[in-house]
Structure 1
Amino acid sequence: MHIQIINFNLEGISRDEYEKAGEELAGDFASLPGLISKHWLANEENNTYGGVYIWKNKEAMQNYLESELFHGVGANPALVNIESKD
């Protein structure tokens, strides 16, 4: 098992808009190979959002970091200061 934490700040969108976008992407995350679970994070007071990802192994996480989904989400101009730690 491998744990990854991704944090970022929102810029130009509200928490409600972020949550709606998250709901639209939930199916894409659910179908990621090797992803056991994802727990969404939100701290509106500090404008810190993200997720805790639990992967089957580090290879599955690396595959996600190289995926279209990761790069597409990361290219969203409303998500800034993106950090990934494992």
Structure 2
Amino acid sequence: MIMQIIRLKTNLSEEELLKRAHEREPQFKAIPGLVQKYYVKMGEPNSFGGVYVWDSEESLQTFRQSELAASIPKAYELAEAPGIEVLDVLFSLRE
């Protein structure tokens, strides 16, 4: 299992960001290998993120090369390049 954390700084209000995220929700639900996605608010103003849980590195790489992934900066009107971390999950507490 792979966890990916994306940190975004946006020019959008929280209300507008959530509206756009909900509009794009069906596209994310349809991604093969995406086990879960958490939409999060970071501690700084206009800072949000996504925590993705992938079934494999292959699924993550396929997503990274997709049009949906490429559309994130424009869809959320990013103020700067996103921060991205990829982590290998060693084990989970609960199944």
Tell me if TM exceeds 0.5.
yes
Equivalence map 1:27-42=2 (5 Å): 27-42=26-41
Question: Offset at 1:44?
Answer: 6.3
Is the CA contact (8 Å cut-off) linking 2:42 and 2:49 kept in structure 1? no
Specify which structure has the higher proportion of strand: 1
Q: Structure 1 stretches of 5 or more lacking a match?
A: none
Is the CA contact (8 Å cut-off) linking 2:20 and 2:75 kept in structure 1? no
Larger radius of gyration, structure 1 or 2? Answer: 2
Question: Offset at 1:47?
Answer: 2.5
Q: Please name the residue that 1:84 is paired with.
A: 84
Q: Structure 2 stretches of 5 or more lacking a match?
A: 87-95
CA distance in 2, matches of 1:5, 1:83: 8
Question: Offset at 1:42?
Answer: 1.1
Give the number of equivalent residue pairs. 85
Letter in 1 for 2:57: K
Q: CA-atom RMSD, angstroms?
A: 1.6
Q: Please name the residue that 1:2 is paired with.
A: 2
Letter in 1 for 2:37: K
Q: Please name the residue that 1:63 is paired with.
A: 62
User: What do the CA deviations read for 1:49-72 (whole angstroms, capped 9, x no partner)?
Assistant: 111000000110011110000001
Mapped pair 1:50 → 2:39:
no
SS in 2 for 1:81: coil
Could you tell me the TM-score, scaled by structure 1's length?
Answer: 0.89
Letter in 2 for 1:51: G
Is the CA contact (8 Å cut-off) linking 1:15 and 1:44 kept in structure 2? no
Residues 50, 72 of structure 1: alpha-carbon distance in 2 compared, 3 angstrom cutoff: same
Residues 33, 43 of structure 1: alpha-carbon distance in 2 compared, 3 angstrom cutoff: same
CA distance in 1, matches of 2:59, 2:74: 21
